[in-house]
Amino acid sequence: MTGRLVIIGAGQAGFALAAKLRALGDSRPITIVGAEESLPYQRPPLTKKYLLGEMTFDRLLFRPEHWYADNNVDIRLSTWVEQINRAAKQIVMQDGSVLGYETLALATGATPRRLPPSVGGTLEGVYLARDKRDADLLAGEMRPGRRVLIIGGGYIGLEAAAVARHRGLEVTLIEMSDRILQRVAAKETADIFRAIHRKHDVVIREKTGLKQLVGRNGHVAAAELSDGSTIDVDFVVVGIGVAPNDRLAKEAGLEVGNGIVVDSFARTSDPSIFAVGDCVELPWEGGRIRLESVQNAVDQAEAAAEIIAGGNEAYDPKPWFWSDQYDVKLQIAGFNLGYDETLMRAGAREGSVSVWYFKQGRFIAVDAVNDAKAYVTGKKLLETGVNPSKAVLADPAADIKQLLV
């Protein structure tokens, strides 16, 4: 047995790190420090099945409470860390208590960006969509016939729009960029999802930003938009991206960029401190990126566990993502950063379509809309490093399975 591992953060990455170490037979003392009052849980269903009332919270828990005691994992909830003392190898809690560590892992995640108070961001009725508390508050607001403004046309905003329409609300979504999904997907994918949402009577207004939220008795009542119009609203959901929780690392003198800088082994600039999940900036094809996904949080945390347990295999990210909206499942394999060419392919079933991304002629990612075959094929091509024939992709009659031969 070796010295204590302290994990700051009780989300997907923090839990995965502890669970993997125990699965590897590593018996060192582990303490997880989490700011929320709930045991570690899945976040993606919060704004989908949980918000729709189709899934109870206990089903979102990674493990029941007894698992932690059974596996000698000390979990401290409703607790947060104020400071890391690297010289003494200690963390200082919000109540002033101190906990020593031999190894420290930062799994602090990311925080949704809020609207500034100057535009009405602190009015009642303005919500984020990140944790259980957010979802519980939104569930109380989402009643048929009410009017919601969603600010931000990324996946979080679009998923919130789908749930709101499912619950019978009137939905307006604004996006200040030229189009929805501007930063994360090609125009073709954006066109597909715009059409899906408009079919479900969501009002999408692109190239439209928020000028000011207007309050009445401290509660949001209307929104003045950048095009000069004003719309009445009952509440607002803000989905304008997230920022990595890197304050502790920065104040401790660790290297920080767009997140906590780590090497291919999830180590920070201090060899006894690791960082995993949404809070990190990691190596990627000669550069550095931040990956916000459940898959990366789990895979990187498990790779870090192997290193902490004595392994030496570098983490090689294999990104994949998903988004559920109405009866549409979007599955993404790869990472489309820097793409310069796209190819759209109709799937075998009605309503199935895929968008394939290339960079300097090399296949780098695919967006598969209700098209599991395209997703699985694209994922395997990326894993094997095979570049698919564009002629086969462009031929709707061709079976894309032949690309794997």
Give the model's pLDDT for residue 2. Answer: 79
Q: 372 Cβ partners below 8 Å, 6+ apart?
A: 331
Rounded to whole angstroms, the Cα distance separating 385 from 187 reads: 26
DSSP secondary structure letters along 163-218 = HHHHTT-EEEEEESSSSTTTTTS-HHHHHHHHHHHHHTT-EEEES--EEEEEEETT
Whole-structure pTM value: 0.95
Do the Cβ atoms of 105 and 276 come closer than 8 Å? Answer: yes
Give the model's pLDDT for residue 401. Answer: 87
Output the CA angle 185-191-192, nearest 5 degrees.
Answer: 90
Considering the four listed CATH numbers 3.50.50.60, 1.10.10.10, 1.10.3720.10, 3.40.190.10, the one that applies to the domain covering 5-111+242-308 is: 3.50.50.60
DSSP secondary structure letters along 47-74 = GTTTTTTSS-GGGGBSS-HHHHHHTTEE
Render pLDDT for 199-233 as a digit per residue (tens, 0 to 9): 999 999 999 999 999 999 999 999 999 999 999 99
Bridge-based pairing of strands 73-76 and 30-33 is parallel
Total length of the chain:
405
Give the model's pLDDT for residue 1. Answer: 58
Q: Where are the domains of the chain?
A: 5-111+242-308, 117-238, 327-404
Q: What is the CATH number of domain 117-238?
A: 3.50.50.60
Walking along the chain (405 residues) 10 residues at a time, the average pLDDT comes out as 92 98 98 97 91 93 98 97 98 96 98 97 96 94 97 96 97 98 97 98 98 98 98 98 97 98 98 98 95 96 98 95 95 97 94 96 98 96 95 92 85
**In this structure, what token pair is assigned to residue 213?**
């939220």
Render pLDDT for 286-295 as a digit per residue (tens, 0 to 9): 999 999 999 9
* Strand ranges of the sheet holding 219-225, from the earlier edge strand across to the other edge: 210-216, 219-225, 230-232
Do the Cβ atoms of 368 and 333 come closer than 8 Å? Answer: yes
Fold identical between 5-111+242-308 and 327-404? no
Q: 327-404, superfamily in CATH?
A: FAD/NAD-linked reductase, C-terminal dimerisation domain (3.30.390.30)
Q: Among candidates 105, 97, 87, which has minimal Cα distance to 249?
A: 105
Render pLDDT for 313-350 as a digit per residue (tens, 0 to 9): 999 999 999 999 999 999 999 999 999 999 999 998 99
